[in-house]
Structure 1
Amino acid sequence: MATYLPTQSVLNVEVSCFANYNTPSNPKPVNLYLWLTNAKYRDRVLTIRAESDKLKRDALKATLPAITPSGVFTYRQASSLVPGSHSGLIQFDIDFKDNAHIRNYANLKVQLGRLPFVAYCGLSVSGTGYWGLVPIAHPKRHGQHFDALRRVFAHYRINLDDKPRNVASLRGYSYDPEGYFSEKVMLFELYDEPQSVPVRQFSQTKDADTERQRVEVCIGEISRRNIDITSGYNNWYAIGCDLASTFGEGGRDYFHIVSQCHPEYQITSCDKQYTHCLRSYKEVQLKAFFGRCRDAGITWKELLPHEPVNRISLLKNKSKTCSTVTGKTGKSTDEPSNQIQTLLSEPVAREVAPFKPPIISLVDTSISETCSPPATEKTLQNEGLIEILTVEPERCCASECEEPNLVGRKPMISAKNFHEWQCQDSYFSQMGVPTKCSEDSL
């Protein structure tokens, strides 16, 4: 039987509040329900929504206070969650750019309110997206609950942002006088059973240039000692940008090998993040990567017995401006001063196409490889249930596939309760919950 709880009591929990988007330390406790209903920063939000310049809008957004809806933290990173302080809630985030195929997008909040496990849903700070809160049955399975939640939304071809899978994901202040609060909310019990992730083996490049040798000896040590240098989203993002700007697509495997040391590593999320880094880096540098290595006690100077002498290094500039890198010379730090190492460079023209959100059919699930879940079977289960049933993530029902002119179809959610809603569709009847619907299932 489904478990229903009073929504106000579900939201009457303590979470951490940070001064702004860029301050990960010194959080203060705040009541989540009061935060959702407070209009203190209303005028600042309305100013942001009226700003047409995206860069200015993002800069203004970053100055707003923000919370971690899933718990209390001493520092904004997953490892700093105060033991026993998980709020029992997971957030979802729906961006317009990822859901431009939805024709009734402006009315989506009403549709989302019909899902029995949605406790709250409101506008994002920009006014173009939606976010909401869902109570989960097993806080220790936070990421697995999110995977199942994403699958439920995907059934309606609604794409969720991946960031809330991280228990420390941030939510900036937003104002919505018509935010949706349910009277009672169903506890979300579904979660994806974790799948084993193959470990990528690291091997050094033969006849690598100086820069690549320095990076590879550090990555080799990281892999050998299984050291996580990516903890915290900002660190992960900066490392990805360093590798993307220096090695382009050739740095993707490096990013995976470094990222797989994190306990929440996922292949698809890592791929998506690196693709984002390829589009957004600003200059060629490795400061963040080597800095995090130093923090972990790893330096290339100690790992390399000596730097290669008289080795030609082609340093390709991969910046968006396709500017020419001028040649420069320097002495090896580990060889006698009379041995000069010459670094040659050549201009490399590399065009970076502007990012355009995919237009996705409401039935077509052939999303790009970097954004879609891997085509492997997953199992979903409820705690305490004996039978675990397999679900195919890319499956669509025959009635949907045969329906003509599905591009731009409006997602319509009309379930009375979660069990009945699942039983109405064969896809969800496989999710490891009772398939017999009755009046007493409420």
Structure 2
Amino acid sequence: MKDSKNLSQQILNTNKSNSNNSCSKFMTNTVVRIPAGIPSPKVSLFENMTSVVPIEEISLWEFLLSSDYQDIVHIYRETQDPAVRKEIKKFRLPCVTVSGIFDTRARKRLVHRHSRYICVDIDGKDNPGVKGRWSRVKELLAEKFSSLCYAGLSVGGNGLCLVFRIAYPERHRAQYFALINEIRTKIHLYADSTCCDVTRLRVASYDPEPFFNPNAVPYLNLINKDYGVPCKNDRSASMDVDTKMRVYACIKIISDRQIDITCGYKVWRAIGQALANEFGPEEGRRLFHLVSQWHSDYYPTECDRLFDWCIANHDFINI
């Protein structure tokens, strides 16, 4: 037992001497290939769980899919020594704020750019019925939630880190509680309800077989309680969820088959007006580009110019 503890401590000391370099190295090795051309959200990287100020901005996908911390995570999962486990989790592993970029994790934040992603924790202690069958849980979650981007083992190996794409970052808490409520309803799993803070840290982990879908559609549901600031776009927030899901499904078909549906300027403009009215300026613009890009004369600047007009002139144009 003592030899095992000494070995663990020796590896920890080696990791400590290289910790300043390893934060950047993990971005080079991933367990799943990230498709070319798929932009990854940028998030803030922190040296460890005690850090308040970030080191840099990094790719969320590369962080979650990294294999560089496999050895130290394995030590954490194997050892029963509480001192070693505390040392690893609290001081030896880097962390990110999944939900965006921040200049600090303190309450007075100067920079806050939401990533449009949200992290949910499923702990084995709260769900004893799982009994280690996390691969099956990942399959069920992927089957039930088209907004699930990532599902991977927690650092302890007895839980999951879930990352969902969300539609309303300004309603972060309302979307978080809607998600954990729906997870409980659909799959009978209990998520951690205390992890709703937008600056919540996600510690580095390792899962050789994560679920990964960078093309997940935004999650639309909200729990309309006193969880956050009012939605900036009431029309967008109250839009029929089924209609939005059909729109996303149609746009996926358009993209997969590279179909041009902008038959003439009036039709193209009407599409922009409908998207602006139903989805708002940010998400509507993104979808408008996805629809417009298959026209032979597509120019991003012209597309932006027309959508700017659509934002100001979209009344009563619905999908």
TM-score tier, shorter chain, comes to 0.5 to 0.7
What amino acid is the match of 2:174?
Answer: Q
Change (3 A) 1:94 1:382: farther
Partner Cα distance (2:99, 2:247) in 1: 33
1:18 aligns with 2:18: no
What amino acid is the match of 2:236?
Answer: G
1:41 aligns with 2:69: yes
Partner Cα distance (2:129, 2:152) in 1: 20
What amino acid is the match of 1:162?
Answer: S
SS at match of 1:384: helix
Question: Which residue matches 1:130?
Answer: 160
Question: Which residue matches 1:311?
Answer: none
Change (3 A) 1:105 1:9: farther
**8 Å contact kept, 1:137–1:187:** yes
Change (3 A) 1:101 1:154: same
Question: Which residue matches 1:99?
Answer: 127
Question: Which residue matches 1:187?
Answer: 218
Question: Which residue matches 1:70?
Answer: 99
SS at match of 1:171: strand
Question: Which residue matches 2:8?
Answer: none
**8 Å contact kept, 1:78–1:168:** no
Q: 1:167 aligns with which of 192, 198, 222?
A: 198
C-alpha displacement of 1:168: 0.4
Residue-by-residue CA offset, 1:289-341 (whole Å, 9 max, x unaligned): xxxxxxxxxxxxxxxxxxxxxxxxxxxxxxxxxxxxxxxxxxxxxxxxxxxxx
C-alpha displacement of 1:13: 1.7
SS at match of 2:101: coil
**8 Å contact kept, 2:45–2:55:** yes
Partner Cα distance (1:10, 1:166) in 2: 27
Partner Cα distance (2:190, 2:167) in 1: 23
What amino acid is the match of 1:22?
Answer: T
Within a 5 Å distance, the mapping from 1:130-149 to structure 2 comes to 130-149=160-179
Within a 5 Å distance, the mapping from 1:411-430 to structure 2 comes to none
Change (3 A) 1:177 1:386: closer
C-alpha displacement of 1:103: 5.7
> Which region of structure 1 is more displaced relative to structure 2, 88-97 or 155-164?
155-164
C-alpha displacement of 1:187: 0.7
Partner Cα distance (1:168, 1:440) in 2: 29
What amino acid is the match of 2:202?
Answer: R
**8 Å contact kept, 1:27–1:74:** no
How many residues are paired up? Answer: 210
Partner Cα distance (1:60, 1:440) in 2: 42
What amino acid is the match of 1:71?
Answer: G
1:31 aligns with 2:56: no
Partner Cα distance (2:111, 2:236) in 1: 27
Partner Cα distance (2:246, 2:168) in 1: 26
- TM-score, structure 1 normalization: 0.43
Q: Structure 1 unaligned segments of length 5 or more: list them.
A: 1-5, 197-262, 265-380, 388-431
**8 Å contact kept, 2:44–2:54:** no
What amino acid is the match of 1:189?
Answer: L
Question: Which residue matches 1:384?
Answer: 236
Question: Which residue matches 1:82?
Answer: 111
Partner Cα distance (1:186, 1:46) in 2: 33
**8 Å contact kept, 1:135–1:188:** yes
Cα RMSD between the aligned structures? Answer: 3.2
Partner Cα distance (2:81, 2:213) in 1: 35
SS at match of 1:57: helix
Question: Which residue matches 2:151?
Answer: 121
Question: Which residue matches 2:242?
Answer: 434
**8 Å contact kept, 2:177–2:193:** no
C-alpha displacement of 1:138: 1.3
**8 Å contact kept, 2:155–2:205:** yes
**8 Å contact kept, 1:116–1:186:** yes
What amino acid is the match of 2:105?
Answer: R
Partner Cα distance (1:438, 1:26) in 2: 39
C-alpha displacement of 1:37: 2.7
Change (3 A) 1:98 1:11: farther
SS at match of 1:30: strand
What amino acid is the match of 2:111?
Answer: V
Change (3 A) 1:437 1:195: closer
**8 Å contact kept, 2:177–2:222:** yes
What amino acid is the match of 1:166?
Answer: D
Partner Cα distance (1:80, 1:434) in 2: 36
